[in-house]
Structure 1
């Protein structure tokens, strides 16, 4: 499980580097689909990782600067913070994580039940989904997207 998170984090870091050469206009520009901008999509990826991690741990973890994530450097700091928490959690997974049930309360108050394994799998695939959106936007502005080809990467 940890190796797939490492894959996502490696691809995410390359997207951050890719964004360094973008103009602010392109970084913030409202687009069709996804979370409406490159900036918002990157923040959303990290927000959701923390949201789901919080469903797995005792006590909620917050990022103090979340409301003022304006610059890429601040988003990278947020990413590092969440990544370290996720990595620590995954490294300490109990042997029964495939069967351990977690109750998640929805905004409407209803409860859903998932195994820790399913939540972790969702966290991984959620990021992959949004990386696809970033790739589409990269092509729309005539820029080469970051390759997310798992088979050729070294991340373990």
Structure 2
């Protein structure tokens, strides 16, 4: 599991670097689809990682500056903060994590049950989904997107 998170984090870092070359307006510009902007999509990816990470925790992890993120550097700091906790969680998973159930209460009060393994798999694929959206927007801007080719990356 950790190797796939490392893959995602490496691709995310590459997107951060890619965004550094953009005019600030392009980073914030509202677009069609996804979370409406590069900034919002990158923030959303990290938000969801933290949301699901917190489903494992008795005491919730909070990034105090979350509601004031506008600069790429601030989003990068948020990413590093969440990544540290996620990596620690994965390294401490019980050997039977694929059978450990976590209950999630929906807004309507219903309870859903998922294994820790399924939640981690969802966290991984959620980011991959949004990376695809960033790639579409990059092409719309006539720019080459970050390569997300897993086979050629060294992330172990």
d(CA) in 2 for partners of 1:56 and 1:95?
A: 15
Question: What is the deviation of 1:87?
Answer: 0.1
Question: What is the deviation of 1:62?
Answer: 0.4
Specify every segment of 5 or more residues in structure 2 that has no aligned partner in the other structure, as ranges: none
Which residue of 2 is the match for residue 124 of structure 1? Answer: 124
Question: What is the deviation of 1:151?
Answer: 0.4
Which residue of 1 is the match for residue 90 of structure 2? Answer: 90
TM-score of the superposition, structure 1-length normalised? 0.99
d(CA) in 2 for partners of 1:47 and 1:90?
A: 18
Question: What is the deviation of 1:24?
Answer: 1.1
TM-score of the superposition, structure 2-length normalised? 0.99
Which residue of 2 is the match for residue 151 of structure 1? Answer: 151
Which residue of 1 is the match for residue 113 of structure 2? Answer: 113
Q: What is the RMSD of the two structures over their aligned residues, measured on CA atoms?
A: 0.4
Provide the aligned length of Structure 1 versus Structure 2: 156
Runs (4+) of structure 1 moved beyond 3 Å? none
d(CA) in 1 for partners of 2:107 and 2:11?
A: 31
Specify every segment of 5 or more residues in structure 1 that has no aligned partner in the other structure, as ranges: none
Matched residue SS, 1:70: coil
Q: Show the 5 A alignment for 1:17-32.
A: 17-32=17-32
d(CA) in 2 for partners of 1:155 and 1:37?
A: 27
**Could you give the per-residue CA deviations for residues 100-153 of structure 1, whole angstroms, max 9, x where no partner exists?**
000001111111000000000000000000000000000000000000000000
**Could you give the per-residue CA deviations for residues 8-54 of structure 1, whole angstroms, max 9, x where no partner exists?**
00000000000001111110000010000000000000000000000
Question: What is the deviation of 1:95?
Answer: 0.6
Q: Show the 5 A alignment for 1:1-156.
A: 1-156=1-156
